[in-house]
Amino acid sequence: MIFLRLAIKSLISRRMTVGLTIFAIAMSVALFLGVEKVRTGAQASFADTISDTDLIVGARSGSVQLLLYSVFRIGNATNNVSWDSYQDIAARPEVDWIVPMSLGDSHRGYRVMGTTDAFFERYRYRGGRALDFANGGRFSDLFDTVLGADVASDLGYKLGDPIIVAHGLESFTEHDDKPFRVSGILAKTGTPVDRTVLISLEGIEAIHVDWQGGAQRPGRAVSADAVRAMDLTPSAITAALVGVKSRLQVFRLQREINEYPQEPLLAILPGVALQELWGIVGVAETALIGVSAMVIATALLGMAAMIFAGLNERRREMAILRALGAGHTTIVAMLLLEATLIATVSAALGTLLLYAGLWVARPYVDAAFGLYLPINAPTIHELGFLLAVVAAAAFVSLVPAIRAYRMSLAHGMTIRS
């Protein structure tokens, strides 16, 4: 134990260089753990975007593309699904429920989605959680709208506020003759629903009855009141979420939709498509992990360099120990112990830094990116990583240790400078 005590005192006596080294390693450890946390958090919240939906159906395109526009509101559908096909699918015996989605319009940068009340019942996220209303409720009128949490908070909308839907995603033409009214505001979900303006499928139809191409038909405008009397069954939708009665039927239904003779359609399994998409995003993630691992390696090499540079000044210390009867292995062990102590303190400090950082950044990250970073005890995986850092530190310190061994072999008890 006297050795541990002496090693600690020796480190303390060099507190400036040792302190900086510890800080560098601690920062790199915190960075690595942080990246890892963000990565797993992102992956989890990514995979949590949609759950309990068995199939997503859209016009034939790529599965990632379909997932992107139907779930993440990114990109566009190249084609629609005709209302007849939709009804055909809805009527199939395997189908338990189906939720239509009609996309294409926007409101001040947020996407507008036409759907039915079924969406509020059926859309699930984070392992089966249902949507909640923070305020108000579902559509009770043709021109009612329900806002996602971010839309409401970013644009400062309250219940009853009027909303004008713009035609298309980036156009300045607005359906300003048919304003909507906020009937409900959803609670925050951390999914793209937060950034969506929901209106009824009939609402979408209503604002488009008198439009053709990108503009209102001149002289044929239909007033908001008049449109209520019209048949507002849509002629097409963009995509649909499907739940089946028995999971065993998923693949058969998928195949039948994909081979639907009347129209080229695509049905995807959300989980598989999410994984495929994460595989693309994951390249960046791997690069990030790689970079933070390099940062750790750099910090550890810095430590080895520090110990190495200190050897010359410490020849006296080693000569004393040799004279007292310390063997060469004791000298090596002393330096390994030193590196291990440095790395252990660094790992502990790095973990502390991580938790402090998480604690400070979490509300911000959650608000800005909808990314929920859990603060929990270190996982086995993380503890293993910390252990690996300590082991790696001992390993790189073999370089100065072997040098010290050589020095103690080549010198007598006196120090020649």
Contact residues toward ligand ATP (CB under 6 A) are: 411-412, 414, 416
Q: Cβ 415 to ligand ATP, closest distance in Å?
A: 9
Question: Which residues lie across from 95 on neighbouring strands?
Answer: 244
Residue closer to other proteins (CB basis): 169 or 321 = 321
246 binds, among ligand ATP, other proteins, none (CB under 5 to 8 A by kind): none
324 binds, among ligand ATP, other proteins, none (CB under 5 to 8 A by kind): other proteins
The rounded distance, in Å, linking the Cα atoms of 338 and 95 is 66
**Residue 412 binding other proteins, by CB under 8 A:** yes
Residue closer to other proteins (CB basis): 7 or 386 = 7
Q: Cβ 415 to other proteins, closest distance in Å?
A: 8
Nearest by Cα to 346 from 302, 294, 280, 380: 302
Residue closer to ligand ATP (CB basis): 128 or 412 = 412
Nearest by Cα to 192 from 272, 278, 131, 236: 131
Residue closer to ligand ATP (CB basis): 228 or 411 = 411
Q: Cβ 313 to ligand ATP, closest distance in Å?
A: 17
Query: Taking the CA of residue 276 as centre, how many other CA atoms within 13 Å lie in the half-sphere pointing to its CB?
Result: 13
Q: Which amino acid is at 254?
A: Q
Residue closer to other proteins (CB basis): 279 or 327 = 327
Nearest by Cα to 75 from 89, 86, 59, 90: 59
Q: Are strands 265-268 and 133-136 parallel, antiparallel or unpaired?
A: unpaired
Helix 398-410 × helix 328-369 angle, to 10°? 160
290 binds, among other proteins, ligand ATP, none (CB under 5 to 8 A by kind): none
Q: Which of residues 275-334 bind other proteins (CB under 8 A)?
A: 316-317, 319-330
Work out which of 128, 218, 246, 414 binds other proteins, going by CB under 8 A. Answer: 414
Work out which of 5, 213, 262, 380 binds other proteins, going by CB under 8 A. Answer: 5
Residue closer to ligand ATP (CB basis): 91 or 410 = 410
Q: Are strands 265-268 and 215-216 parallel, antiparallel or unpaired?
A: unpaired
Q: Cβ 384 to ligand ATP, closest distance in Å?
A: 44
The rounded distance, in Å, linking the Cα atoms of 217 and 211 is 5
CB 232 within 8 A of CB 178: no
Nearest by Cα to 393 from 327, 360, 346, 334: 346
Residue closer to ligand ATP (CB basis): 247 or 416 = 416
417 binds, among ligand ATP, other proteins, none (CB under 5 to 8 A by kind): none
The rounded distance, in Å, linking the Cα atoms of 338 and 332 is 10
Positive or negative, the CA dihedral 49, 53, 55, 59 is negative
Q: Which stretch binds other proteins (CB under 8 A): 103-111, 266-274, 292-300, 408-416?
A: 408-416
Residue closer to other proteins (CB basis): 246 or 414 = 414
Sequence-separated (6 or more) residues with CB below 8 Å from residue 342: 11, 18, 21, 22, 25, 303, 393
315 binds, among other proteins, ligand ATP, none (CB under 5 to 8 A by kind): none
Q: Cβ 411 to ligand ATP, closest distance in Å?
A: 4
Q: Cβ 413 to ligand ATP, closest distance in Å?
A: 9
CB 87 within 8 A of CB 297: no
Query: In the bound complex, which residue of the shown chain has the CB atom lying closest to ligand ATP?
Result: 411
252: three-class secondary structure by DSSP? helix
Q: How many residues bind other proteins (CB under 8 A)?
A: 26
Give the binding site for other proteins (CB under 8 A): 2-3, 5-6, 9-10, 12-13, 316-317, 319-330, 412-415
